[in-house]
Structure 1
């Protein structure tokens, strides 16, 4: 089979190599999956660079989110078990962690429903307790993680402010349903948020960026607001001033979605049921901006790493059946 492999750490476009390899052999409790679509996530770039929370042995195949087919013909979504990731014709996953692919979504959309939407659901509902009528601010609102949070926020009845970088991404954020869109390259984010909220600020801030975005968040979070720390796509990990959180009376909450796989896996199943229902209602629909062939995966991962994409890019192997 064909599979992308990383033999040394570095930039994705430089270290990912397409090779002909034997299909992986599942271990105890694992299943072999025929990949129908694999979505590109920022962690794929971090894995290539050797900067992710986990460091699989070299060589490994990146691709942490797939829609696939089991040997008995079931259509499922899964997080492959590294080193046998999803940028290949076949991958391996834990049998107990497989989730049924929603019928309302095609293969690429179904794969994209998993990490980004689970992260959004846990961040907004489990960690931040977002309520209808509150104001939600989403950084990188046109990206894969941000676009999921925008849709989930609207589905929850929140007013959504999206912060993006550039006019093209601003158009995407508006199409996603943002009530207010702020282009950080052309506007003063702090002033624009205060104007949009009458000076009150945002009740919940969803931050997958870190760095300057977090600094802005601390200045526009409302009284008793919640800043959800999702990731650091900017490459800068902020050091929050806790005296500021005390004086302004807001919460800083972290979200490491992967921990729920071991700490409380039943919640992941519950979340999937909620997301499946929202998809069936048409309340959420993953933004898949591109669908590329397996041979274009390295370029796709590099573009996500460079922050020049919107939504998700889906990699579709030739043996896949994405529609």
Structure 2
């Protein structure tokens, strides 16, 4: 067991630290640390978990802004994926049940959705194997049906969601073209395994993809960005290609030209991973088993670029919202602030 296997949950503290959002706005402005909060009480079918690590996702920023598809009652605690510990000492990963999110010392989760943490990964890495990698797996395999030898174009390839798609694409035998913004992120994308890296700040993305594919275009496009990235996707996709829309980190929701999809003969696929929890939860568990196998083989390893203490969670969410991070930023309650 990775992390700190010697520590087990013997009892729940009478009070805890937790970040609360009382009104909507930018994360750095509306997240407030409560150092004397009551630990959450699990409801029917739920379990309480001591948080070992909570990863920051872009939807955490959307929650703070009131722009996420789910709006928990105010005040709430953000933090959508954690590695936690059950009261009997089992190390697990879960998506906390809002309003009791992961940026706290304790969270609650639906018992049926709790999954065993992969032993090959430490706490922060294990937490990161959940939303981003599940999203990537469902997008590439369930929706796009990617095949070995195909070309996969990944937007925001150095980010938390994009980096997972890069690794999963390589594990599936695809040739991966990663689009990034800036030289530092380009270096990260190369380290992740991208066969071709395109810096959108200095290169023409469409021309670069066409050059990398001999004019054919990408068979599968993974787009968590939207906006201008989607427009580039439509111009870069191959005959019978598939564009998988997984998010709109740019803040701009595009309006696809369906006549263009008809003329070029490509598919536009949406992915809302959270729906599988209610529509087909067995697929989520099957996916977790496969991801655990890939982690044990070393085929995937979440990129955790920062590990910060609980006191720095609001600043971490703001950095992710501003698009200046790479990989995942993990909030570790027991991490100490260093000078």
Query: If the length of structure 1 is used for normalisation, what is the TM-score?
Result: 0.98
| Residue of structure 1 aligned with 2:194, choices 163, 174, 178 | 178
1:180-199 aligned within 5 A: 180-199=196-215
| Residue of structure 2 aligned with 1:14, choices 19, 29, 32 | 29
Q: Distance in 2 between matches of 1:289 and 1:50?
A: 27
Query: What's the offset of the Cα at 1:213?
Result: 0.2
- Asked whether the 8 Å contact 2:310–2:335 carries over to 1, the reply is no
| Residue of structure 1 aligned with 2:100, choices 75, 79, 84 | 84
Match of 2:216 in 1: 200
Does residue 2 of the first structure (1) align with residue 17 of the second (2)?
yes
Q: Report the RMSD for the aligned CA atoms in angstroms.
A: 0.8
Secondary structure at 1:48 match in 2: helix
Secondary structure at 1:195 match in 2: helix
- Asked whether the 8 Å contact 2:309–2:335 carries over to 1, the reply is no
Q: Distance in 2 between matches of 1:2 and 1:318?
A: 11
| Residue of structure 1 aligned with 2:315, choices 292, 299, 320 | 299
1:148-297 aligned within 5 A: 148-297=164-313
- Asked whether the 8 Å contact 2:307–2:335 carries over to 1, the reply is no
Aligned pairs, how many?
320
1:103-182 aligned within 5 A: 103-182=119-198
Q: Distance in 1 between matches of 2:211 and 2:109?
A: 48
- Asked whether the 8 Å contact 1:69–1:76 carries over to 2, the reply is yes
- Asked whether the 8 Å contact 2:118–2:292 carries over to 1, the reply is yes
> Which consecutive unaligned segments of at least 5 residues does structure 1 have?
none
Query: If the length of structure 2 is used for normalisation, what is the TM-score?
Result: 0.94
| Residue of structure 2 aligned with 1:33, choices 46, 49, 71 | 49
Cα separation, partners in 2 of 1:13 and 1:319, compared to 1, 3 Å: closer
- Asked whether the 8 Å contact 1:245–1:251 carries over to 2, the reply is yes
> Which consecutive unaligned segments of at least 5 residues does structure 2 have?
1-15
- Asked whether the 8 Å contact 2:308–2:335 carries over to 1, the reply is no
Q: Distance in 1 between matches of 2:329 and 2:236?
A: 32
Does residue 56 of the first structure (1) align with residue 103 of the second (2)?
no
Secondary structure at 2:274 match in 1: helix
Q: Deviations over 1:134-186 (max 9, x none)?
A: 00000000000000000000000000000000000000000000000000001
Structure 1 stretches of 4+ with a deviation exceeding 2 A read: none
Query: What's the offset of the Cα at 1:90?
Result: 0.2
Greater length-normalized contact order (CA 8 Å, ≥ 6 residues apart): 1
Query: What's the offset of the Cα at 1:318?
Result: 1.9
